[in-house]
Amino acid sequence: NLSEKLGAALKKLKGKGVVTEKDIKESMREIKLALLEADVNYKVVKDFIGNVSERAVGADVLESLTPGQQIIKIVNDELAKLMGSDSARIEFAKKPPTIVLMAGLQGAGKTTFCAKLAGFMRKKHNKRPLLVACDIYRPAAVKQLEVVGKQIDIPVFQMGTQVSAVSIATAALEHAKHHGNDFVIIDTAGRLHIDDDLMQELEDIKAAVNPDEILLVIDAMTGQDAVNIAESFNARLEISGVVMTKLDGDTRGGAALSVKAVTGKPIKFAGVGEKLSDIEEFHPDRMASRILGSGDVLSLIEKAQAAFDEKDAAKLEDKIRHNSFNLDDFLAQMQQMKKMGPLTQIMKMIPGVNAKAIDNADIDERKLDRVEAIIKSMTMRERENPSIINASRKRRIAAGSGNNVSDVNLLLKQFEQMQQMMKQFSGGGLGMRKLKKKK
């Protein structure tokens, strides 16, 4: 897949002390192929490669100590830039309700996303959403919206299938005003292909309700076609943003990379599963590092090996076995980990770990820095034997490391819990040896 291919292309650069223009050219050729194979639009690829090459061949990179790493960073930056530099947000109306018109082909995931967005807006922005059933061509469509609305307890406004979509949308706004709904989401009909009737109807609804947002829902699995679809809808409706659904599937990812570059309209949300809670705000930088870095087990192993040699591992095992793992060892462990790169990036590389969950977990690397500062403010005796750390020592350590006494207390408590865990680990017979065998 795209991640693996890009990883392979960049890996050759990674270890190199000196990178020549020829090396860069070779890698760029591989990256280009990987992107094209992943269905990224040709023109987008061409510009992308141009930008990366220009920056990569720059004297700074070639003469720097870690040219390979720098080029990887450039690729990462440029990927993020392709998808828009900042995370785009929903524009709320100055005077409620905010009106969102959903558009897209049949099966793209509009109806599902309407409900997802309603749940999201209620939870994150305290909104009182109203869902509006304007897909009048299939009776089942109205029913479907009612079903998903019910699942998350969001009201659905519908007038059956005998009234025009424009009339329903207009009546829904009246209803919203009288019922205190400050966020109105209009579900519309899709067709299998873009056709004039569909576009005309959407234009009519747009003219009637003057929406704050027109979101185009695109199935990430449509590949190259996604770009054409986005261009056609944008030309007629002037959309305000894109929702990329089914990003959880085994997609080639090209659609997400091309849409912003071609239409100029940002991806605002991603659908990442069939459940109504499977919605994410779209962050270009996170998507870029996901494309470059997720599941890259090989590079994790590389990093881990470089940072942690066998001898250290044996020493650590011995310490744990003899219950003599102290705060100084803890500090050394943390520093080892840091050598491997940002913690979040490392966790994502562990097979079976859900990269999205980690992005959402908001892991605070600064907390690790704080722990490090606190331990460094301790004397060696204190590190070896934390029980001597009394109130006045705590005050000294806190002041020395620029923290509060409560931070010191928290660290000591956590360390104590960790020691307890390690004791169980080495005492119960199910020790490190068993774990090691599995490797």
Per-residue contact string for residues 157-196; x = within reach of ligand GDP by CB under 6 A = ---------------------------------x------
# residues near ligand GDP by CB under 6 A: 19
110 is in an annotated binding site: yes
Q: Residue 107 CB, nearest distance to ligand GDP (Å)?
A: 5
Closest to Mg ion by CB, 52 vs 276, is 276
Measured at the CA of 398, the angle between CA 395 and CA 403, to 5 degrees, comes to: 140
Per-residue contact string for residues 48-87; x = within reach of ligand GDP by CB under 6 A = ----------------------------------------
Structure tokens at 146: 């009612």
Stretch that binds Mg ion, among 110-118, 249-257, 272-280, 334-342 (CB under 5 A): 110-118
Taking CB positions, which residue lies at the least distance from Mg ion?
A: 111
Q: Which of 234, 245, 258, 326 binds ligand GDP (CB under 6 A)?
A: 245
Sign of the torsion angle spanned by Cα atoms 94, 99, 100, 101: negative
For 115-166, the DSSP string reads HHHHHHHHHHH---EEEEE---S-HHHHHHHHHHHHHTT--EE-BTBSS-HH
Q: How far apart are CA 197 and CA 208, in angstroms?
A: 16
Q: How far apart are CA 65 and CA 166, in angstroms?
A: 63
Taking CB positions, which residue lies at the least distance from ligand GDP?
A: 271
109 is in an annotated binding site: yes
Stretch that binds Mg ion, among 22-30, 106-114, 292-300, 415-423 (CB under 5 A): 106-114
| Subset of 364-383 contacting ligand GDP (CB under 6 A) | none
170 is in an annotated binding site: no
Q: Which of 425, 354, 411 is nearest to 378 (CA)?
A: 411
Per-residue contact string for residues 100-139; x = within reach of ligand GDP by CB under 6 A = ----x-xxxxxxx---------------------------
188 is in an annotated binding site: yes
Contacts of residue 257, Cβ cutoff 8 Å, sequence gap at least 6: 35, 38, 40, 44, 79, 82, 83, 291
Look up tokens 């509009």; give the residue: 110
> Which three-class secondary structure state does DSSP give residue 217?
strand
290 is in an annotated binding site: no
Q: Which of 39, 201, 278, 280 binds ligand GDP (CB under 6 A)?
A: 278
Question: Residue 245, interface with Mg ion (CB under 5 A)?
Answer: no
107 is in an annotated binding site: yes
Question: Residue 234, interface with Mg ion (CB under 5 A)?
Answer: no
Closest to ligand GDP by CB, 243 vs 358, is 243
With CB under 5 to 8 Å by kind, the binding choice for 107 among Mg ion, ligand GDP, none is ligand GDP
55 is in an annotated binding site: no
**Cβ burial 342-351 (10 Å sphere, 16+ → b, else e):** ebbbbbbbee
Closest to ligand GDP by CB, 249 vs 342, is 249
DSSP type of residue 158:
-
CA 210 remoteness from chain centre = 31
Q: How far apart are CA 357 and CA 46, in angstroms?
A: 33
Element (H, E) at 190: none
With CB under 5 to 8 Å by kind, the binding choice for 149 among ligand GDP, Mg ion, none is none
267-271 and 279-281 as β-strands: parallel, antiparallel, unpaired?
A: antiparallel
Q: Which of 111, 158, 258, 426 binds Mg ion (CB under 5 A)?
A: 111
Q: How far apart are CA 278 and CA 113, in angstroms?
A: 9
Q: How buried is residue 49: exposed, middle or buried, by Cβ count under 10 Å (0-12/13-18/19+)?
A: middle
Q: How far apart are CA 274 and CA 98, in angstroms?
A: 25
Look up tokens 């003057």; give the residue: 210
Q: What amino acid occupies position 230?
A: A
23 is in an annotated binding site: no
DSSP type of residue 15:
T
Q: How far apart are CA 120 and CA 135, in angstroms?
A: 22
> Which three-class secondary structure state does DSSP give residue 370?
helix
With CB under 5 to 8 Å by kind, the binding choice for 160 among Mg ion, ligand GDP, none is none
Per-residue contact string for residues 195-234; x = within reach of ligand GDP by CB under 6 A = ----------------------x-----------------
Annotated binding site: 104-111, 187-191, 245-248
Q: Annotated binding site for GTP, which residues?
A: 104-111, 187-191, 245-248
Question: Which residues bind to ligand GDP, rule: CB under 6 A?
Answer: 104, 106-112, 190, 217, 245-246, 248-249, 271-274, 278
Positions touching Mg ion (CB under 5 A) are 110-111
